[in-house]
């Protein structure tokens, strides 16, 4: 884990809580070049439609990068002064890593180690999955556990952490 917080901002919340809209608002008025790293993959028509709608909603002020697996490499490739990078979302990234059978601990460490080195304004978004019941199957429990570990690491390495519910952000750190 990183010993000192980076300038990164971590935005956590439930599905449809308003976290992505809030995360975008943290960047919109900065005057920085806006980059959006989308980790979702279009596995079906409904997801393709969602992705297209999100892209249209953001508009032309955002440069979109689709990166389901190699998040740290993509961050490093576009990182730079005068830029803001929004990553949405870490839980989809966790799912992609699990499906690709990647080394979770190594991927998580690489991301948390990148945060303090970033020159860009970074905002990372994720779904809180630990507030519900214990999942009924092994894969779902492993997903919840991976997401929980990653969230703790990102929160520790971030300068600010927000929890969003019903469109209302609660500042938890910073």
The reported pLDDT for the residue numbered 51 is 78
Active-site residues, by number, are: 54
Least confident of 14-18, 49-53, 109-113, 137-141: 49-53
86-121: pLDDT as tens digits: 999 999 999 999 999 999 999 999 999 999 999 999
The reported pLDDT for the residue numbered 139 is 95
The reported pLDDT for the residue numbered 1 is 35
What is the rounded radius of gyration, in angstroms, for the C-alpha atoms of the chain? Answer: 15
Least confident of 1-5, 28-32, 60-64, 134-138: 1-5
112-148: pLDDT as tens digits: 999 999 999 999 999 999 898 889 999 999 999 999 9
Gap between the Cα atoms of 39 and 88, Å rounded = 6
The reported pLDDT for the residue numbered 5 is 64
Task: Answer whether residue 67 shows pLDDT above 50.
Answer: yes
């Amino acid at each position: 884990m990183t010993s000192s917080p980076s300038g990164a901002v971590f935005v956590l919340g439930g599905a449809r809580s308003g976290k992505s809209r809030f995360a975008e608002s943290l960047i919109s008025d900065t005057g920085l070049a806006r980059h959006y790293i989308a980790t979702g993959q279009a596995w079906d028509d409904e997801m393709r439609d969602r992705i297209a709608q999100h892209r249209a909603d953001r508009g032309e002020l955002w440069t979109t990068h689709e990166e389901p697996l190699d998040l740290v490499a993509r961050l490093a490739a576009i990182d730079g002064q005068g830029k803001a990078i929004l990553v949405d979302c870490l839980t989809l990234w966790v799912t992609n890593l699990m499906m690709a059978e990647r080394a979770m601990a190594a991927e998580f460490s690489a991301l948390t180690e990148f945060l303090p080195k970033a020159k860009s304004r970074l905002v990372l978004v994720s779904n809180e999955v630990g507030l519900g019941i214990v999942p009924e199957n092994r894969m779902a429990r492993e997903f919840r556990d991976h997401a929980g570990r990653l969230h703790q690491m990102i929160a520790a390495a971030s300068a600010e952490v927000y929890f969003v519910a019903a469109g209302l952000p609660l500042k938890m750190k910073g």
